[in-house]
Amino acid sequence: MEREVAWSKYNEESIKDVFAFAEDYRQFISKCKTERECVKEAIVMAESAGYRNLSDIIARGKTLKAGDKVYCVNMNKAIVLYCVGKQPIEKGMNILGAHIDSPRIDIKQNPLYEDNQLVLLDTHYYGGIKKYQWVAMPMALHGIVALKNGKSVEITMGEKADEPVVGISDLLIHLAGEQMDKKASKVVEGEDLNVLVGSMPEIGVKPKKDEKENVKKYILKLLKKQYGIEEEDFLSAELCVVPAGAARDYGFDKSMIIGYGHDDRVCAYPSLVAQLNTENPERTTACILVDKEEIGSVGATGMHSKFFENMTAELMNQCNQFSELALRRALTNSNMLSSDVNSAFDPNYPSVSEKKNASYFGKGVVFMKYTGARGKSGSNDASAEYMAHLRKIMDDAKISYQTAELGKVDVGGGGTIAYILANYGMNVIDSGVGVQNMHAPYEVISKVDLYEALKSYEVFLRNA
């Protein structure tokens, strides 16, 4: 049973929508490289689509009714959006979820040091990466520094053409005999991912006798001048380095996009846009964009936090629909697409896929009934009945979709946020977009898969 290629559905006119949406997405991921940046942009997009901050509505004691649109922000790193449906919320919501954190290199709390007139930042990588992929390339610095006076300094350096970049060195091939014999997991080790940020003392300043670390002193002076921060302020900072520069069209035919952080913004962005495009729904719609998926969905801003449940309680309260039982019913009666990337079949590495149950570029949005590893361990296994319900919705709307697992049995596997929402007893299935080079600094997606994801999310919010 083979699935059709989505491209063949389009003509010269309708294909323009596919490419136009891909271009909006390309600009989004070029600009939004951290969860904070994604939330900030999501708020701008939501407000221009008529969404209001739920905390303002609570503060003013306003009530909400069918058709109203609100958003809630969790510590600037996660966001939930709701559009109130005509039906009582306890009948259940149609929920889209995706994560907006991506693998990267985080700066340590006490990072700055000088070694032989070179100044470096010590790091601790975030998420699962092949460390050897993250060296010898231009990197940008993104994040915030929170100050004791309550203010925060936002930092982005290395994205504009006239800004400097930073990076992590690799060993020259001429001296790498020993390194090349190592296992790939040991070729570059985590503690050695140090970011080079300076190499020159302040010009025209004569060092005093026995004065040390003049290069570091100059870097600190530049940081003070440019951002108003001091060395101690790194203690309360969230800074990371990510590949510098914009995502790009990929291939002679421009049918793909290469860029940083497709996992999982290639699902988060169309989920957000589908939510914003859906007005006056029958069932309440929700879009959850969360942080920390790459490290286990833990913490206050990950999916394990009670934030979504609490905000749903607040929403129901403002709609005069809250009771503890109604909230539980709302969650249990909900349907969810938990969207995350799948490993698209790669002709360079065919041995890890089982061809009948792999996802392919160009065959549309991917449904994964289960994920997990070693005997489906850790997986949310969506019910057959729910999958049948989705098949009907997708086929009726002529959405191109495919089904897949993440790799061959016992080759590996992966997790998502699906199993966490499933704890409420709601219907949840993993869906998403196929990606090549997952978790590499630059990942690749197909534009038509991105567009089919958008369309599938729209019909899901309307009809699930």
Residue in 54, 50, 452 with CA at minimum distance from that of residue 275: 50
State in angstroms the smallest separation of the CB of 131 from Mn ion: 16
Q: Which is nearer to Mn ion, 264 or 449 (CB)?
A: 264
Spatial distance between the Cα atoms of 103 and 126, rounded to a whole number of angstroms: 5
State in angstroms the smallest separation of the CB of 376 from Mn ion: 18
Q: Which is nearer to Mn ion, 316 or 440 (CB)?
A: 440
Question: CA-based Rg of the chain, rounded to a whole angstrom?
Answer: 24
Spatial distance between the Cα atoms of 429 and 382, rounded to a whole number of angstroms: 5
Q: Which is nearer to Mn ion, 88 or 127 (CB)?
A: 127
Tell me which amino acid residue 332 is: T
Q: Which is nearer to Mn ion, 340 or 449 (CB)?
A: 340
Q: Which is nearer to Mn ion, 263 or 405 (CB)?
A: 263
Q: Which is nearer to Mn ion, 35 or 263 (CB)?
A: 263
Q: By CB under 5 A, how many residues form the interface with Mn ion?
A: 3
Stretch that binds Mn ion, among 19-27, 33-41, 172-180, 340-348 (CB under 5 A): 340-348
Spatial distance between the Cα atoms of 356 and 405, rounded to a whole number of angstroms: 10
Binding mask 230-269 for Mn ion (x = CB under 5 A): ---------------------------------xx-----
By the 8 A CB rule, do 124 and 108 touch? yes
Residue from 101, 314, 340, 443 binding Mn ion (CB under 5 A)? 340
Q: Which is nearer to Mn ion, 94 or 339 (CB)?
A: 339
Spatial distance between the Cα atoms of 453 and 340, rounded to a whole number of angstroms: 11
Find where tokens 């999958």 sit: 387
Burial class (CB in 10 A: 0-12, 13-18, 19+), 48: exposed
State in angstroms the smallest separation of the CB of 108 from Mn ion: 22
Q: Which is nearer to Mn ion, 399 or 435 (CB)?
A: 435
Q: Which is nearer to Mn ion, 301 or 463 (CB)?
A: 301
State in angstroms the smallest separation of the CB of 127 from Mn ion: 6
Is residue 405 near Mn ion by the rule CB under 5 A?
no
Where on the phi/psi map is residue 34: left (φ > 0), alpha (ψ -120 to 50), or beta?
Answer: beta
State in angstroms the smallest separation of the CB of 412 from Mn ion: 12
State in angstroms the smallest separation of the CB of 450 from Mn ion: 15
Stretch that binds Mn ion, among 25-33, 185-193, 336-344, 383-391 (CB under 5 A): 336-344
State in angstroms the smallest separation of the CB of 461 from Mn ion: 21
State in angstroms the smallest separation of the CB of 340 from Mn ion: 4
Residues 301-320 that bind Mn ion (CB under 5 A): none
State in angstroms the smallest separation of the CB of 172 from Mn ion: 31
Helix (H/G/I), strand (E/B), else coil: 402? strand
Stretch that binds Mn ion, among 69-77, 311-319, 335-343, 390-398 (CB under 5 A): 335-343
* 56 preceded by a cis bond (ω within 30 of 0): no
Spatial distance between the Cα atoms of 307 and 292, rounded to a whole number of angstroms: 13
Spatial distance between the Cα atoms of 76 and 38, rounded to a whole number of angstroms: 9
Burial class (CB in 10 A: 0-12, 13-18, 19+), 324: exposed
Largest CA distance in the chain: 80
State in angstroms the smallest separation of the CB of 63 from Mn ion: 37
Helix axes 35-48, 15-31, angle to 10 degrees: 130
Q: Which is nearer to Mn ion, 120 or 417 (CB)?
A: 417
State in angstroms the smallest separation of the CB of 294 from Mn ion: 5
Angle at 54 between CA 52 and CA 59, to 5 degrees: 110
Question: What backbone phi and psi angles, to 5 degrees, belong to 80?
Answer: -125, 135
Using alpha carbons, list the distances in angstroms from residue 298 to 97, 246, 295, 302, 416: 16, 30, 7, 5, 12
Binding mask 371-400 for Mn ion (x = CB under 5 A): ------------------------------
| Interstrand relation of 365-368 and 401-403 (parallel, antiparallel or unpaired) | parallel
Q: Which is nearer to Mn ion, 207 or 296 (CB)?
A: 296
Spatial distance between the Cα atoms of 105 and 193, rounded to a whole number of angstroms: 8
Residues at the interface with Mn ion (CB under 5 A): 263-264, 340
